[in-house]
């Protein structure tokens, strides 16, 4: 199964890179060469990509990722404007907070951590799956939020999405 995932991933990238060799589509040579190179790459990286990566071949998950992209984009727009305001006013209260999260696997931690880092003002420093927590550097900690009970104030709806997408 990891072999198939690595093969699909690399063949998709090959198709994206070589699109337009035959009109808008692909010439036969490119398709066959991509097949060969993808098989080699997939064979070489079958141990790397992870045992349970097969769940990302589920089309329902792709729809989930597409549905997630506007949520993430809107979060980034809002947070960028907020940080621009913080830069102008200079009223910051930085610090590192421990954010308890309820996630099970590495992919969920990666999605949530990258989402938190992409929304400015918050920056994931360390993800600790053992203690089910993220350590997040926050540029402006609101009063009384130094000890968090949930990830809601830092991540907004992202934890729910990360749990669903990485499952």
Task: Enumerate binding residues for another protein (CB under 8 A).
Answer: 6, 9-11, 13-14, 17-18, 21, 27, 29-30, 33, 37-38, 40-42, 44-45, 47-50, 53, 106-107, 109-110, 113-114, 124, 126-127, 129
CB of 124 to another protein, least distance (A): 7
| Phi, psi torsion values for 26, nearest 5 degrees | -115, 140
CB of 167 to another protein, least distance (A): 14
CB of 166 to another protein, least distance (A): 9
What DSSP letter does each residue of 82-142 carry, written as one string? Answer: HHHHHHHH---B-EEEEEE----SHHHHHHHHHHHHHSTTEEEEEEETTTTEEEEEESBPP
Separation of alpha carbons 33 and 41, rounded Å: 12
CB of 65 to another protein, least distance (A): 13
Cα three-residue angle 133-137-139, rounded to 5 degrees: 140
Q: Which is nearer to another protein, 2 or 120 (CB)?
A: 2
């Amino acid at each position: 199964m990891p072999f198939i995932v690595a093969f699909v991933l690399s063949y998709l990238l090959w198709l994206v890179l070589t699109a337009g060799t035959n009109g808008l589509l692909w010439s036969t040579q490119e398709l066959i060469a991509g097949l060969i190179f993808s098989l080699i790459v997939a064979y070489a990286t079958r141990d790397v990509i992870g045992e349970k990566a097969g769940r990302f071949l589920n089309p329902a998950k792709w729809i989930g990722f597409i549905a997630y992209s506007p949520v993430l984009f809107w979060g980034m727009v809002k947070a960028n404007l907020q940080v621009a305001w913080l830069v102008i006013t200079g009223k910051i209260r930085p610090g590192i907070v421990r954010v308890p999260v309820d996630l099970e696997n590495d992919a969920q931690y990666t999605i949530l951590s990258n989402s938190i880092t992409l929304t400015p003002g918050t920056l994931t420093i360390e993800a600790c799956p053992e203690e089910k927590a993220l350590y997040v550097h926050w540029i402006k900690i609101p009063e009384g939020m130094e000890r968090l009970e949930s990830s809601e104030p830092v991540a907004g709806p992202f934890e729910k999405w990360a749990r669903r997408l990485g499952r």
